[in-house]
Each structure stands twice: as C-alpha cells, then as structure tokens.
Amino acid sequence: MKLFLSTVLLLAFSLGLRAEDKPAAPAYPLTACVVSGEELGSMGDTIHYIHKEEGKPDRVIKLCCKRCVSSFKKNPAKYLKQLDDAAKADKPAAGHSH
C-alpha cells in the first residue's frame, strides 16, 4: 500500500498536478434563500435541495428551511432563473418573505 501511494504521488508530481490546478466549483451565487429572501442559516441549518431535471445536470439549491422546498418545487423555473441571473450578475438576489 505504501508503494502504491508513493507511486501515485510521484506520478502526480511528475505530471505537475497540484490541488490548486483543479478548477474550483463555482461559488453559490446567493447568501439568501432564493424563495424567502431570508439569510441562509438564519433559520437553522441550510437545506441543500437537489433539483433534478431530465437532460440537465443536477443542481444544488440552498434554501433557508424545509417549507421553501415545497415552494421551490411549485415553480422551479422562476427560482432557477433568479439563481442564474444572480450568478451572471455575481450579486445576491432575494425572493419573497415568509
């Protein structure tokens, strides 16, 4: 096992691969819940909802509470657009309040 790890590390070093060379995942564009506008984490642990849409990659949607999951599911296109617009503008957007 030690030989295997040494070989892998040597190979990675010889190829010039470094952790900082890996592309970083894009930062989540909002600090507030896209549904309620509440600050993420202000109502307990942030909910990480996985939105699945056929033919598209899964997306992690951060919400302030479980109630917002059902609201998101009723109109995902609306909230996905807000997320995409915020990512393009690189600034937080807010939804409606509870």
Q: Which of 94, 97, 96 minimizes the C-alpha distance to 29?
A: 94
Q: Which residues pair with 60 in a beta bridge?
A: 50
Contact 38, 64 (CB under 8 A): yes
pLDDT of 22 above 60: no
pTM: 0.65
pLDDT of 16 above 80: no
pLDDT of 55 above 80: yes
Ranking 10-19, 63-72, 76-85 by mean pLDDT, the lowest is 10-19
pLDDT of 76 above 50: yes
Question: Which residues of the chain form beta strands (DSSP E)?
Answer: 47-51, 59-63
